[in-house]
Amino acid sequence: MKEIYKTILDKALPYYKKAREGDIEHIKWLFIIIPKFVDESEVDYDILMPVLLLHDVGYSKVPKGSNPFNLDIRKVHSEEGAKIAEEILNELNYPKNKIKEIKRLILKHDNWAFGDSFKDEPVLRIFNNFDFMWMASKKGFDIARKFMNKKAKEFYIQIQEFQKENEEQGRNWFNKKTGDFYKQLMKERKKEIF
Ligand SMILES: [Fe+2]
Ligand SMILES: [Fe+2]
């Protein structure tokens, strides 16, 4: 793993401290998990890694306590996030053409909420698999559940409904082991809840 990714994470952390509850755990989880499931030969890591590390920094600019499931909040955090990402990456002298692409993808990263399948966006397809799955992880489950004000059982069912929507709208698993991992996480949550 390249040192620059850790440097980007360090630069992003002060923003995540001001962002939503649990955002630091969210980003650190993605940073550990994604490389276990997606190989560097399958995607441009120099784009994927900054996108995953910086995609939610924009939550530092939305009013505290905003509901992240609100569509306007989704739009604003993506726009603010793209601006902050550009600042951070420029400061680190990241290649200009890559910054442009990372910004474009951060702007789009939550467009699943507007029905985007990410069919022609391999980086976002991979990223979205895991950004979604965070809700089914041990830590992510309670963090996301509280945003939605749901009880554990209700939220478990809600995740299943979201996944059904993913399937209906064509957001498939990038590879089999990623889909299997989601099923494993859901099995673990089920055991804890029911
Ligand atoms: Fe986001
Ligand atoms: Fe996220």
Condensed to tens digits (0 to 9), the pLDDT of residues 126-137 reads 999 999 999 999
Query: What's the confidence (pLDDT) of residue 130?
Result: 98
Query: What's the confidence (pLDDT) of residue 119?
Result: 93
pLDDT value at 69 more than 90: no
- The Å distance, Cα 56 to ligand 2 centre, comes to 6
Query: What's the confidence (pLDDT) of residue 1?
Result: 83
Task: Count Cα neighbours of 3 within 13 Å in the Cβ-side half-sphere.
Answer: 1
Query: What's the confidence (pLDDT) of residue 132?
Result: 98
- The Å distance, Cα 71 to ligand 2 centre, comes to 14
- The Å distance, Cα 106 to ligand 2 centre, comes to 10
pLDDT average, residue stretch 58-75: 92
Ligand nearest to the CA of 74: 1
Ligand nearest to the CA of 58: 1
Contact (Cβ atoms closer than 8 angstroms) between residue 76 and residue 50 = no
Domain containing residue 15: CATH number: 1.10.3210
108 is in which domain, residue-wise? Answer: 3-193
For the chain, the average pLDDT equals: 96
Query: What's the confidence (pLDDT) of residue 165?
Result: 96
- The Å distance, Cα 60 to ligand 1 centre, comes to 11
Residue 39, both tokens: 């190989």
As a dihedral over the C-alpha atoms of residue 135, residue 26, residue 44, residue 100, rounded to 10 degrees, the angle is 110
As a dihedral over the C-alpha atoms of residue 149, residue 151, residue 155, residue 157, rounded to 10 degrees, the angle is -140
pTM: 0.96
Q: How many domains does the chain have?
A: 1
User: Cα 56–62–63 angle (5° rounding)?
Assistant: 140
Contact (Cβ atoms closer than 8 angstroms) between residue 16 and residue 60 = yes
pLDDT average, residue stretch 112-120: 94
pLDDT average, residue stretch 53-82: 94
Ligand nearest to the CA of 106: 1
- The Å distance, Cα 75 to ligand 1 centre, comes to 9
- The Å distance, Cα 61 to ligand 2 centre, comes to 15
Condensed to tens digits (0 to 9), the pLDDT of residues 3-17 reads 999 999 999 999 999
Contact (Cβ atoms closer than 8 angstroms) between residue 143 and residue 21 = yes
pLDDT value at 64 more than 90: no
3-state secondary structure of 41: coil
Place of tokens 């965070």: 134
- The Å distance, Cα 91 to ligand 1 centre, comes to 23
pLDDT value at 65 more than 90: no
pLDDT average, residue stretch 58-71: 91
Q: What share of the chain is helix, strand, coil (3-state, %, to 5)?
A: 75, 0, 25
pLDDT value at 68 more than 90: no
